[in-house]
A = this chain, B = another copy of it.
Amino acid sequence: MAVHKKEAFTQKEQDLAEFAKALAHPARIAILKVLAQRNECICGEIVEILPLAQSTVSQHLKELKNAGLIDGNVDGPRSCYCINWKAFEKFNREFSWLFNNLKIKNEKSCC
């Protein structure tokens, strides 16, 4: 994003944006869904389910992990990923904060 002026915004705004960014791709939404449907931490399964190359899936997993949405243990050949619930709850809270803040003050819009 070229000349990204992230620093010019509050930490809360940056955090929320970063979290949203991690969700901003259908493949990553799909990965989260897969991680949820199985009650265990798969990984190779994701590659079979998604129409993407292994390296691409690995890259998406890395982004989700960097953003803190998932945790992951790498045990040699077999990795293990799972949802980071605390992070999700924080996002939910932050998002609700923004959402409710808006809703209370401005129930009916002017346009």
The 0/1 profile, CB within 8 Å of B marked 1, for residues 1-44 of chain A is 00001101110011011101101111111101101110111000
For A30, give its contact among B9, B39, B80, B101 (CB under 8 Å).
B9
A interface size (C-beta, 8 A): 53
Q: A5-B52, A92-B99, A105-B37 are in contact. Are A26 and B17 (CB under 8 A)?
A: yes
Instruction: Establish whether residues B110 and A40, one from each chain, have CB atoms under 8 Å apart when the complex forms.
Output: yes
Interface residue SS majority, chain A: helix
Nearest opposing residue in chain B for A109, CB measure: B82
A contacts, CB < 8 Å to B: 5-6, 8-10, 13-14, 16-18, 20-21, 23-30, 32-33, 35-37, 39-41, 50-52, 71-73, 80-85, 88, 92, 95, 98-99, 101-103, 105-106, 109-111
A-B contacts, 5 listed (Cβ < 8 Å): A18-B24, A39-B106, A71-B109, A82-B111, A95-B95
